A and B are shown apart, each in its own frame.
Chain A
């Protein structure tokens, strides 16, 4: 059953009681919140997802709630919890929804050591997946939103999940996180997309979340083989420059973007080794997304 098949009231009640969860394939989350804005945005952005019922087990039980302090009436705050544990300092009330999304990412990165987890987006077309590892400021989220709405299947916009057994990438489809300028850009290109409220003044600037394409969510259980690794760097004066990375440099690039390489030890090293040997890695400097998309669709990544 999909979340969107329930009445809004039923969804809000279930969220209030922590009776509802979602199945993301590689992980399941049970969510609890009494905050109306979080309930509303969640119901909208996760409408296409399969739910789990109170009788089913969930991997992580998360909640976002107001902080119970004397200061709650002066400058209210919200906090995220995983089960009985609160991992972060509180954030301002207006950032409640992004806090939920970031908290869910943290749960994966800090606990799900059954996969190699890489900071970056991954999308697939014609059976070939491309990983876009990306430190902040690379323009990855905009590129990701662009490709996702141009026929590329989104597997994830933040966290690439790689099987330690097969080396294939498993979808971890979630609402796409957009920042600052890219919010209005993406709205102009794709007027029909569903965007959450904009949370202002976060540590990342203005932040909004976009509902992922239904097709991507429907295929949440379908893994893909990685063809290439592309390191994007938005560069206002360059239409498209492509630089091939040596395999050793590529290893280091993936390693520095791996959330849990240390935790995986030997298994992590071997997984990255397999990934690098079976793919090509390039760095692209670009200012034109359409040109980038063409390059990626052409599918030639080695000199």
Chain B
């Protein structure tokens, strides 16, 4: 199954590196992430689709125990969704 970052995502990448806030119009909610992780996220914002495993690998700074809750949050908040085009 392929995934992608939702199209109309808006974010605030704080200039003091204190974090990144994502705003999802579909839920009208914002979620906060740490700056180092989101450096990786930003690479996917050109709506390219990816597999979960590849995504996990690119977040090499995280252990599997750290990755799973993050992944679940991304899905629960509709930040990452299934890419139905594929």
Contacts and interface: CB of A to CB of B under 8 A. Distances in A.
A246 B18 CA distance: 6
Contacts of B16: 246-247
A84 interface: no
Interface of B: 10, 12, 14-16, 18-21, 23, 25, 28, 30, 32
A251 B18 CA distance: 11
A187 interface: no
Interface residues of A, number: 15
Contacts of B30: 255, 269
Interface of A: 246-249, 251-252, 255, 262, 265-266, 269-270, 273, 276-277
Name the prevailing secondary structure of the A interface residues.
Answer: helix
Contacts of A252: 32
A269 B18 contact: no
A276 B23 CA distance: 15
Contact of B14 (A246, A255, A265, A266): A246
B28 A273 contact: no
Given A247-B14, A266-B25, 12 more contacts: A246-B14, A246-B19, A247-B16, A248-B18, A248-B21, A251-B14, A251-B21, A262-B28, A265-B25, A266-B23, A269-B30, A276-B14
